[in-house]
Structure 1
Amino acid sequence: MESIHFQILNEEVQIGQSKIGGLPHLRREEEYPTNERGFFEFVAQLNFEELNVESEIIPKKGILSLFIGAISQNEYECIFYPEPPDDLEKKEVSSNTPFLGDTDFTQTKSGKFERSNEKNNYNDLFLISESWSYKDPVYLKIMGFGELETNILFDYKNNYKVDFFGRNSGVCKVEDLIKSKEECFQLGKLSWEEWKDKIIQFDRDKKYHEEKYQELICLLSIPTNYEIGMVWGDMGRVEFFIMKEDLIAKRFDKMIVKYAPD
């Protein structure tokens, strides 16, 4: 699957156009997304008809707006209009509503999309791309193995990679992983026996996961852009993942958002 690249330009954006940052364009009666803790940050708006991506899995039309909360908790909200509405308008959040994200909130400018032919430009926005972060823990979480995501990063060419507090401590087979309790197991909600059973269950269905893993798509990878004021860490990115079947069915509520460090 070939990644589609877009430059982000600090230019005026018309209502309903694809963009990152600034204020979202929502229907007149639509409320800006909030929860009991505060408001979500608007990060991107995709007008699929305008983007005109030649792919059987990307919608041909419709507008998708994406908002994030605390990325450490994979918090996001999305609003999808299958048909572009004719009553879109800029929506602001109430001034007395707190921000529920991980850091302080700073209002960004709008950044306009423009197709790019520079496939190696890290500053571009990527659509249906390879991820710059780890796909592995995202896949584990989507498939119901969230308890393992901080313990194992798997790679089907190299069996299992063990991740221990962010350090890649080598490659081992599942039987070695089970034996290496001291090195690999992190105390959490699962007991040691429950954690071991999760690994065995995952390994039992390994062939299924090998095939299913290929269907995990990074739908959108948004770069840091100092010109419009959208900054993730230093030069990091925010990425939205979705399974192929959910993308085809336009089930954007099934995504996972992840921070990709530089």
Structure 2
Amino acid sequence: MQTIIPPVLNEFKNELEYYKLDTIKITALPIEDGEILEIKRSKFLGNPYLPLQFEYPKDKNDKPLILIAQLNFSEIPTLQNYPDSGILQFYISATDWYDMTDYRVIYHENTSIDHQTDFSFLTDDLYEETPIFCEHRLQFNKNSEYGGSEDFRFDIKLNGKDLYDYCETLSKEEADQVESLFDASGHKISGYAYFTQSDPRDNKMSNLSEDLLLLQIDTDEQIMFGDCGVANFFIHPDDLINKRFDKAWFNWDCC
């Protein structure tokens, strides 16, 4: 899918090319009653693909973590430095996910190994506080982004003005087009990150400034992180290339 730069920004096309990033937009569709997704499918919530000898991940209190996302890269358009096969999984605590300390990111490179089928230990009470309310099937579309207004990496000046001041010089229709182009919200893999508060990587006291967006899960009709919040997983480029997904870190914020 080709992102169209609105005419009002035509004079800045060369500058915008510098900020262009590929992203995979995710459409999350709640499954129908009685529907069961195949164990290896990409999904939000649901049962994971786990090899027979692989121990199900648990939290610090020895309770099962909750799978919030499973990405099967064989179903996903290719992205530079991302796998083109294997299954990547994101788990959070059933009860203390808001602390952002009890989570796991697990990558299964070989998905031909016989897998577990008994998840009866994942009882309904474990899902009472999950920010994802039901299982979703996922659809993927590759796209391009030219910036994200909340992402600290997007620091373009338009006629010497920052984005918000520049929009003040436009008509409402033009400003809406510009803001839409630089809106980084939604479910996605890679690209610019969206925040309701601030970008945690924009901190001179930390070493997170090079980290990339691995996965973003946003609020929608069946997903709610806090009060209309958004969840992000980030990873350093070297760890991404070397498939060290256990190095990824979790962040979320809300209004």
TM-score range, shorter chain: 0.5 to 0.7
Tell me if structure 2 keeps the 8 A contact 1:26–1:91.
no
Letter in 1 for 2:90: L
Q: Describe how 1:56-75 pairs up with structure 2 within 5 A.
A: 56-69=80-93, 70-75=97-102
Q: Give the aligned partner of residue 174 of structure 2.
A: none
Whose strand fraction is larger, Structure 1's or Structure 2's?
1
- 1:238-253 to 2 correspondence within 5 Å? 238-253=231-246
Instruction: Please report how far the alpha carbon of residue 83 of structure 1 lies from its aligned counterpart in structure 2 after TM superposition.
Output: 1.7
Over 3 Å counting, the alpha-carbon distance change for 1:29 and 1:106 in structure 2 is: farther
Matches within 5 A, 1:1-16: 1-11=21-31, 12=35, 13-16=37-40
Q: In structure 1, list runs of 5 or more residues that go unmatched.
A: 140-152, 155-159, 161-198, 203-208
Matched, 1:231 2:224: yes
The percentage of counterpart residues that share the same residue type is 25
Separation in 2 of the partners of 1:41 and 1:20?
10
- Are 2:87 and 1:40 equivalent residues in the alignment? no
Q: 1:36, CA displacement in angstroms?
A: 4.0
The root-mean-square deviation of aligned C-alpha atoms, in Å, is 3.3
TM-score (norm 2): 0.62
Indicate conservation of the 8 Å contact 1:58/1:248, yes or no. yes
Q: Is the 8 A contact 1:32 1:93 kept in 2?
A: no
- Measure how far apart 1:68 and its partner are: 1.1
Cα distance in structure 2, aligned partners of 1:135 and 1:231: 18
Match of 1:88 among 102, 110, 115: 115
> How far 1:256 moved relative to its partner?
0.9
| Paired amino acid for 1:80 | Y
Structure 1 Cα separation of the partners of residues 29 and 125 of structure 2: 29
Contact 2:44/2:132 (<8 A) preserved: no
Cα displacement (A) at 1:226: 3.2
Q: How does 1:154-193 map to 2 (within 5 A)?
A: 154=203
Residues 123, 244 of structure 1: CA spacing in aligned structure 2 closer, same or farther, 3 A cutoff? closer
Once the 2 structures are TM-superposed, how far is the Cα of residue 246 of structure 1 from its aligned partner? 0.5
The 1:127/1:85 distance shift into structure 2, 3 A limit, reads: same
Q: Deviations over 1:204-232 (max 9, x none)?
A: xxxxx7xx82x3101100123434xx321
Structure 2 portions without partners, runs of 5+: 1-20, 146-179
1:52 and 2:77 are equivalent in the alignment = yes
* 1:114 and 2:114 are equivalent in the alignment: no
Q: How far did 1:116 drift?
A: 4.4
SS at match of 1:28: coil
| Distance change >3 Å, CA 71–CA 48, structure 1 → 2 | same
Aligned residues: 189
Residue type of the alignment partner of 1:14: E
1:108 positional shift: 4.1
> What per-residue deviation string (whole Å, max 9, x for no partner) do you get for residues 113-168 of structure 1?
1134787687741100211136753x4xxxxxxxxxxxxx54xxxxx7xxxxxxxx
3-state DSSP of counterpart to 1:226: coil
- AA aligned opposite 1:252: F
Alpha-carbon contact 2:214-2:235 (below 8 Å) kept = yes
Following TM superposition, by how much is the alpha carbon of 1:96 offset from its aligned partner in structure 2, in angstroms? 7.8
Partner secondary structure for residue 34 of structure 1: coil
